[in-house]
Every structure is written in C-alpha cells, then in structure tokens.
Amino acid sequence: MYDNFGQFIDGKWSRGNGKEPVRVTDPGNGQLLGTIPAASAEDTLAALASAERSLEGWKNTQAWLRADLLQAVAREMVAATANAALTISKESGKPVAQARREWELSIDQFVWYAEEARRIYGRVVESRVPGGRCEVTHEAVGVVAAFTAWNFPVVLVARKLAPALAAGCTVVLRPSNEVPGSAMLIFECLRKAGLPAGVANLVVGPTADTYEPLISSPVVKKVSLTGSTQLGQQMIRDSAATIKRLSMELGGNAPVIVFDDADLEKALDLSVATKFANCGQVCVTADRFYVHESLYEAFVEGFANRTNKIKVGYGQEEGTGMGPLINPRRLQAIEAIVADARDKGAKVVTGGHRLDINGGYFYAPTVLANVPDDALAIAEENFGPIAAITSFTDHEDLWARVNNSSFALSAYAFTRDPARIREAVAKLESGMVGINSYALAAAEVPFGGIKASGMGREGGSEGIHDYMNVKLAQIVV
C-alpha cells in the first residue's frame, strides 16, 4: 500500500533512514496495512534544508502563478478521488462515503486558496508627514512546520498546505503516524501538478526524529498544529526559544442547547448524524446536550431510536454508518468515560459496550441520559461515540453551565426565536457558533477556537493571513 511513497523531500519520494519502520494498522480489523521506512532526524533536517533553499524562489513567484499551481493540484486530486476515499477509509476506519466527502472538502481548500493567492491585498494609509505615504503590505512568513492529527487525515493537511503555499511559504509537514498514506496521496498530487522541488516536504516517523529537529530550528518561522490541547501547550513551550508564530486548532467539547421552541425532529436528525460521524472522533462534534425540560424526554427517546438504526461496521461495507475507533487506546478511554458516567448516576439509554466485529476497535454508539455536569462525558472532551444528555430549566443558569469549560471551539443551539438566536450567538463563549445547523467547516469561512481550544484560524480570507507578516512602509518623497 505504501510501496511507491515514503518520505517526500526535495520533490522526490524516498525511503526513510530511521531505525524502526512505521507500522500502520487498519482499525476496522486490527490487521497490518503496511509499513513505511521511518524518517531519521537527518531526513527531517534534509527536508528542512530543502524548504529553506526553495523559499526565496517560491515567495517571489507571482501570485497568479502560485494560484495556477494550486488549481492544478485540485485537478489532480479530483482525478484521484476514488483511490483516495478507499485509502482514507482503510487508515482511519471511517465509512467510504465520509472519506470521499473529506477528500472533496480538501479539494475545496486548494481551489479556495488558489483564488485567495490573487487577493493578498495591502492598503495605503494617509500619512501625517508632508509628502509622505504609508503602505501596508503582506509577505510570506517563511518556512512552516505543520503537524496534523489522525481523525481527518487529508482535510487537516489541506487546511495547512493550501494557505501556506498560496501565501508564498514553503512547508515541512509531519502527519500522524496512524494515517500517513492519506497525506501521501496529497503530496503525490502536488508532485504531479508540478510544484517546484522543495516547496512542500513530508516526513513520517517517531517524534524524536520528526518533531524535535523542526521545533528547535530557527529556520522554521511558523508552526501550525491540529492536535490535543496538551500537545499544543507543549509546543508553545518548545517554540518559545525561537519565538515562532503559532496557529493551533486544539481540543473541543461542544455544547448543544435545545430550547423549548426548537424544531425537535430537525434537531434530532441533525444531531444524531453529526454526533456519530467518524465515530464521534471530531473536534467540533456535538458532545454535551442541554435540552429544555419540556422536550427532554422526547429528545432522549428520539435520539436513542435514531441511534439504534445506525449500522456499525467496516468502513468499506455497503450501508455502514459508523466505523471503529482509531486504536485500542481510544476504546479504553471511551469505556472509562461511560463507566464514570454510570458511577455518577447517569443512565445508559443505548449502547455502552464494545462490539465484536472483525477484530476491529468498535464501540456501540452510546446515548447517556441524566448526566451530571461533573461527569467526564460532559466535563471533558470524549472524542468518541458518546452523546451525553442533560436538561435545563433556567436560562441564566444555563449559560453558566454551558460556558463552564476550558474548551471553546464550537457551540450550537436550536431555536426558532430570533431574539434567542441573537442571545445565543452573543453569550456562547466559542470560536464558532451554529444555530439550527452543524455546518461550520468550509473552505470559505474561518475555522478555529478560543481559550484552550487554540489560536489562529484556518479557512476563509483570514486563513491565509496566518501565514503572512504585515509590513509598514512610511515613504516620503
């Protein structure tokens, strides 16, 4: 499966020189998908040197030409869709239909930022100095080190590569060792599209060899991470010595408020589909549901009924609605969260146990009711197929409960009252808010959180500016 790929350095595929190969497992059956010769520290430094050499030429390439190359990448990706969807499904476990949709969203990133490359606007500000003019311009920040998680193995890569390349940066990307082949498919599309050698590089291997050389190097001017809050905190500390610019999309624990005037059927249909997509391993997924007491029983019953209709199985099987967790560690973590909820008095309405399917890492889609606020299922990000449902009566008390979290990536509310919509948008402490919708992730809008959920934005016109420095010139003639 990985025979033609490996490390992508200076425009070429090569075998890594690391000591131990990277072993990739299919979470749907626990079987080995393949091995990849890992990068050594020397390989990572070679990738970094390649990115440094190519920076001057790439950042001075006309924006229109950079845009043309990104459009060519998008066309190569379109042609690779069927194979990519299968690879993503095998590596991550998600159903093929969800994998295909992820690849299509990744294509959107390259198309959008091809257009944004042509819209890197500065501005002229009236000067106080006689005969003067103030010019504000934007320049590529330089060499970027990018690190991505396993839950969305291609769209997270695209969210970093596309804006960085559009801005004129060069990149060394380190994908998760759980899903490296999916990232490699994007790099093969970069190669086929004719991206100049060294502009984008990929290394796969152990942390000591693929993280330390990048994070400690003064050559790297910016770091972009999608990962856990704990990893983000460590990366901030590690970057301090060289004062790198940082963009971080970290953990989430999204609240969902269902008010008494909500369209109940719509809220249920959207919530169940969203909660169990990718087996709940989504940073912006609906985690904790606060339902008005007048709708509470109907909501719990409707949620459980819909959940019981989901077909759990291997990602490539017809009709599969939910696949496995990514590895045995996630299985153990989900079991611990459900056990904690039980111990604290929550009711398991449906699910709450492992599933024995093909030796894979499967857990039944689970609905918990009467969950107290101090249970792990509500207090922390569960990152799995657990819907934790509780009720509320008083609106003022509600806001304090909902915002009592260090995570603030996404939040949602269902209501038909215009005044309540504005109240929810204003009072929810979150980088993103969905009202009667969970559709927050798109190439054309900014994606990101506040508080412990990170800093910076990916997507939208804001995304490209995270890869650019602002320069002021006061010109007097």
Contact by Cβ (8 Å): 465, 317: no
β-sheet bridge partners, residue 257: 290, 413
Please give the DSSP secondary-structure letter assigned to residue 43. Answer: H
- Residue 249 among the catalytic residues: yes
Element (H, E) at 387: strand 386-392
**Which listed residue (116, 249, 381, 458) is catalytic?**
249
Residue 127: partners with Cβ closer than 8 Å, 6 or more residues away? 133, 134, 474, 476
Question: Which residues are within 8 A (CB) of 411 and not within 5 positions of it... i.e. 6 or more apart?
Answer: 254, 255, 256, 257, 402, 428, 429, 430, 432, 433, 434
Pairing of strands 132-140, 468-476: antiparallel
The single residue listed with the structure tokens 């008390």 is 397
List the 468-476 sheet strands across, edge first.
123-126, 132-140, 468-476
Q: How far apart are CA 147 and CA 204, in angstroms?
A: 11
Using an 8 Å Cβ cutoff, are 300 and 289 in contact? no
Q: What angle do CA 348, 349, 352 make, to 5 degrees?
A: 45
CA separation (Å) from 183 to 103, 174, 177, 444?
11, 9, 10, 22
Query: Count of alpha carbons within 13 Å of 431, Cβ hemisphere only?
Result: 28
Nearest of 163, 166, 152, 29 to residue 101 by alpha carbon: 152
Q: Contact, 446 vs 459, CB < 8 A?
A: yes
Which positions are catalytic? 249
